[in-house]
């Protein structure tokens, strides 16, 4: 059996490439560590010296200001030196290969790479070619994975709901093009969530998703009934070819989360969204800004989760 490339021979986390295949205790350790950092970010001085003198490289082969920012803040609050690199517009255009670019940066004594790439698997390829003491965090690779997003979602659920083993979680929207939904499902299952539902039109639900042990609903009302957690996905307009959906308005009519529809879920259900939101497309503003929305706390917890992952990889967690 092949060893999980994310774990060292001692079972410790060496890279964070995907939530898939992460053992339960590793997941729980990340969540517990993140909790300690939530309190750090609430202090007057929001810094700890855990990564002092370490060099964290944000290597973005595909631009994403928001994601880069979250990692930059996390690293700086751990006192790391942060180097931002948009490689799309630099050495790649000089014809250098991905691996040469990364080997070059590693030779500058990098301690950690935060990698975003349009191609699935690029962070794995990079991780495989680095020496033992350099760590890779996948900040999104194609449609494949975006593990810190998945982790912050799970952290948010645990924060508000505490016990995973009694929850019904409904994931609504474009699962076909979502970087996170699959990993999310895996993490929720691993952490003991008994019922995960996915809701959306046939064109946006991958046919093989049922193999992950989820219940598929094409009817929004039935899917939401009794849910403790409603996770909305972003309708990624830019990824769709137009043939999959009639129109944004039509989508909102059928799958948009309105206050009326939210009444079908449990009264204390929480509403999540990874951002950026398309208000009036997948979510109504009254819900997005409503009392059940935990969309902004997700962002806050996201910083703590990224700090936790970095601290654990650097051996200081």
CB of 265 to a copy of itself, least distance (A): 23
d(CA 274, CA 46): 24
| 43 makes contact with a copy of itself (CB under 8 A) | yes
Give the CA-trace dihedral at 16, 18, 21, 24, to 10 degrees: 60
Per CB under 8 A, 58 contacts a copy of itself:
no
Q: Using CB under 8 A, which residues numbered 98 to 127 contact a copy of itself?
A: 100-101, 103-109
Q: Is 299 in the site for a copy of itself (CB under 8 A)?
A: yes
Q: How far is the CB of 32 from a copy of itself (least distance, A)?
A: 20
Q: Rg (Cα) of the chain, in Å, rounded?
A: 19
273 in the Ramachandran plot: left (φ > 0), alpha (ψ -120 to 50) or beta? beta
Contact flag: residue 258 with a copy of itself (CB under 8 A): no
Cβ proximity to a copy of itself, 61 vs 164, nearer residue:
61
- Report helix, strand or coil for 199: strand
Q: Is 263 in the site for a copy of itself (CB under 8 A)?
A: no
For residues 116 and 145, the answer to whether their CB atoms sit within 8 Å is no
CB of 183 to a copy of itself, least distance (A): 22
Structural element, H or E, at residue 307 = helix 295-313
**How far is the C-alpha of 202 from the C-alpha of 206, rounded, in Å?**
8
286 near a copy of itself, judged by CB under 8 A? no
Contact residues for a copy of itself, defined by CB under 8 A? 41-47, 52-55, 63-66, 69-70, 72-73, 76-77, 81, 83, 85-87, 89-91, 94-97, 100-101, 103-109, 237-238, 275-279, 296-300, 302-303
């Amino acid at each position: 059996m092949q060893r999980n490339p994310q774990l060292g021979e001692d079972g410790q986390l060496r890279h964070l490439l995907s939530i898939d295949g992460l053992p339960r205790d590793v997941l729980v350790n990340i969540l517990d560590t993140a909790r300690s950092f939530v309190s750090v970010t609430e202090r007057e001085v929001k810094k700890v010296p855990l990564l002092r003198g370490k060099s964290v490289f944000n290597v973005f082969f595909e631009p994403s200001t928001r994601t880069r920012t979250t990692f930059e803040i996390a690293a700086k609050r751990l006192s790391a030196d942060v180097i931002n690199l948009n490689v799309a517009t630099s050495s790649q255009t000089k014809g250098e290969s991905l691996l040469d670019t990364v080997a070059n940066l590693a030779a500058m004594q990098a301690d950690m790479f935060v990698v975003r790439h349009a191609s699935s698997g690029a962070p794995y390829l990079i991780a495989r070619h680095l020496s033992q003491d350099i760590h890779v965090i996948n900040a999104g690779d194609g449609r494949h994975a975006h593990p810190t997003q998945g982790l912050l979602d799970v952290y948010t659920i645990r924060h508000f709901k505490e016990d995973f083993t009694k929850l019904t979680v409904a994931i609504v929207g474009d699962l076909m093009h979502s970087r996170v939904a699959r990993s999310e499902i895996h993490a929720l299952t691993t952490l003991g969530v008994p019922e995960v539902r996915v809701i959306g039109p046939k064109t946006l639900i991958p046919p093989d998703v049922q193999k992950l042990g989820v219940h598929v609903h094409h009817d929004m009302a039935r899917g939401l009934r009794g849910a403790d957690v409603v996770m909305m996905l972003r309708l990624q307009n830019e990824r769709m070819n137009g043939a999959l959906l009639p129109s944004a308005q039509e989508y909102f009519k059928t799958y948009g989360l309105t206050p009326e529809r939210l009444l079908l879920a449990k009264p204390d259900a929480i509403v999540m969204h990874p951002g950026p939101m398309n208000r009036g497309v997948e979510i109504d503003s009254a819900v997005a800004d409503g009392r059940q929305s935990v969309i902004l706390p997700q962002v806050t917890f996201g910083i703590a989760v990224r700090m936790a992952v970095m601290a654990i990889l650097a051996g200081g967690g």
